[in-house]
Amino acid sequence: MRVLTQIHAHILTHLHLSLSSVSFTLSKILCFAAYRNILYAKTLLFRIPYPTIFSYNTLMRGFLLQNPSREPILLFKKLVQKKFPKSNTFTMAFVLKCCSILPALEEGKQVHKHVIASGFGGNSFVQTSLLNFYTKCEEVELGRKVFDEMTERNVVAWSAMIGGYARVGMVNEALGLFREMQRGGVEPDEVTMVSVISACAMTGALDLGRWVHKFIDKKGLNNDLMVSTALVNMYAKCGSIEKAKEVFEAMPYKDAKAWSSMIVGFAVHGLAEEALGTFAEMGEAKVEPNHVTLVGVLSACAHGGLVSNGRKYWSSMLESGIEPSMEHYGCMVDLFCRANLVEDAYEFVKTMPIAPNPAIWRTLLVTCRRNKMFEKGEIIAEQLLQLEPLNAENYILLSSLYASGANWVKMSRVRRQMKERGIKVVPGCSSTEINGYVHEFVMGNWSHPEAKDIRELLQEVSERVRGVGHEPWIATVLQNVGDGEKQDTLWEHSERLAIAYGLLKTKAPVVIRVVKNLRVCVDCHEVTKTISKLYGREIVVRDRVRFHKFVNGACSCRDFW
């Protein structure tokens, strides 16, 4: 940089140079400066008398290598405003990449229009950039349109499309596309396999994940760090923490991401001691922990009820100079709340140097409901509704607070507000994998092709559960209706439909695995424990927070979740 600035000074002091010579030389300086001092390079661009599209592209790429910013989009806007005649495929690709990283959906759609207007719509390089942009923004259907229009699809395009389906939880579509890719003779690479593994992980499709693992071994991709880390994550998220540990221990080299995946895996399974032990091993291996590592450590303390350990790790994190993120603060609030230290949690939130996000306020509100702290709960709910006035979950929690105190008048008022504002509740949704296909069930929805058989089996299950003395926790039903209707509602919860389907289609010792989008309610937790004993089945449920492994009438969470 010192030499570059000297050359720049030399140009400025030799005024006899022609404008074309100055433009040429400054463009060369910008080319180097863009990867060493991006702000200096940006200043240079606007000092070049006749800048070329190459200079704009270089600066865009330089910004993309830095922390994500809107600079490439702003540069592209300048080109459009100037009606710059020579934008090329690189220009479009760089600005689309910026839109995918931020993400900036609307700006990316505008760029798409320019792509078509500029005649680059059929260019495979630009098409792949468009596909990557839409899938990263989770606009999978728009991405699929681009994908279907491509005359040549390389492995990057296939990987982007498969990754897009995986990102939004469309595991059947992702795996179907992967099989189509194989039939088309396109050899998958490491990126493709990570996308496929991620699809299995997201929906808890363990059998498919095992098949993918065998495919990876066959293709010799099992020594890739990124693939191995994805496998650790997949097995942990599919409820097979033992296999995750086996893959992890077999890795010849482990970076911070690999260590973090194992620590987080142990944490969500409620294996606090194993998580903290792995963190200690990471220190012995001289691998620096990252943001995710510390989230895993604090989360493990929260799930294990290890308040003193959590405080210790928090203090050491601050002492080491690591600036806590919102997720770290959230873990500490969760730690206090799970231990019913509501005042500690509330004081911690009040002293946070950054404004608490809605998730933190929700954690506090749940704890107030559990401890019947109605006044404090209302204060917290007020903060929450100011931040997210249209989020249905916030109203449900407030409604649940009032229901726990049988305050039906206030509960009805909350429900009325939801109706007036057009706020709709996100229904409980659970999935289970049977014979390589993921079946989804929604609370109260009987549209499944085998709904009649499921309903009949559920009736049998409910009778057997009641027969051993189970009393339904009707307090978890937030409607002011009769007890009978409340009991019927509980038996339509999505995880019960998924478990019933698992009982219907599989036999012991096959494990029934269920993934749910919400937290398991108290009654479903108790019922699943009973089912595991009555039917002699191991049932693993992954809810939004953690895993529950039900065996012989007991849960791995020890009723602490």
The dihedrals phi and psi of 512, each to the nearest 5 degrees, come to -90, 120
| Strand 554-555 to 547-551 pairing | antiparallel
Residue 477: predicted pLDDT: 61
Q: In terms of Cα–Cα distance, which of 531, 466, 471 is closest to 495?
A: 531
Q: Measure the N-to-C terminal CA separation of the chain; round to a whole number of Å.
A: 55
Q: Determine contact, residues 162/192, Cβ cutoff 8 Å.
A: yes
Residue 248: predicted pLDDT: 98
The pair of structure tokens assigned to 342 is: 């509501």
The pair of structure tokens assigned to 388 is: 């997210």
Interatomic CA distance for residues 94 and 98, integer angstroms: 6
Q: Determine contact, residues 141/173, Cβ cutoff 8 Å.
A: no
Amino acid sitting at position 363:
T
Burial grade of 433 (CB within 10 A; 0-12, 13-18, 19 or more) = buried
Residue 384: predicted pLDDT: 95
User: Is 0.85 topped by the overall pTM?
Assistant: no
Interatomic CA distance for residues 361 and 541, integer angstroms: 26
The SS3 assignment for 258 reads helix
How much of the chain is in helix, strand and coil states, percent to nearest 5? 65, 5, 30
Residues forming a β-bridge with 437: 434
Q: Determine contact, residues 513/487, Cβ cutoff 8 Å.
A: no
Distances (CA, A) of 230 to 182, 418, 421, 531: 21, 40, 42, 33
The domain limits of the chain are 357-425, 429-555
| Strand 512-516 to 429-434 pairing | antiparallel
Q: In terms of Cα–Cα distance, which of 255, 261, 259, 265 is closest to 224?
A: 255
The SS3 assignment for 119 reads coil
Query: What is the rounded radius of gyration, in angstroms, for the C-alpha atoms of the chain?
Result: 28
Residue 483: predicted pLDDT: 61
Give every CB contact of residue 446 below 8 A, 6+ residues apart in sequence: 454, 455
DSSP states along 121-178: TT-HHHHHHHHHHHHHTT-HHHHHHHHHH-SS--HHHHHHHHHHHHHTT-HHHHHHHH
HEC profile of 449-509: CCHHHHHHHHHHHHHHHHHCCCCCCHHHCCCCCCHHHHHHHHCCCHHHHHHHHHHHHCCCC
pLDDT tens for the chain, 561 residues long, are 899 899 888 888 876 778 898 899 899 999 999 999 999 999 999 999 999 999 999 999 999 998 889 999 999 999 999 888 778 999 999 999 999 999 999 999 999 999 999 999 999 999 999 999 999 999 999 999 999 999 999 999 999 999 999 888 888 899 899 999 989 999 999 999 999 999 999 889 899 999 999 999 999 988 899 999 999 999 999 999 999 999 999 999 999 999 999 999 999 999 999 999 999 999 999 999 999 999 999 999 999 999 999 999 999 999 988 899 999 999 999 999 999 999 999 999 999 999 999 999 999 999 999 999 999 999 999 999 999 999 999 999 999 899 888 898 999 999 899 999 999 888 899 999 998 889 999 998 999 999 999 999 999 999 999 999 998 876 656 555 556 676 788 999 999 999 999 999 999 999 999 999 999 999 999 999 999 999 999 999 999 999 999 999 999 998 887
Interatomic CA distance for residues 75 and 60, integer angstroms: 7
The SS3 assignment for 442 reads strand
Give every CB contact of residue 93 below 8 A, 6+ residues apart in sequence: 125, 126, 129
Q: In terms of Cα–Cα distance, which of 546, 494, 529, 508 is closest to 236?
A: 546
The SS3 assignment for 255 reads coil
Q: Determine contact, residues 528/500, Cβ cutoff 8 Å.
A: no
Interatomic CA distance for residues 92 and 118, integer angstroms: 10
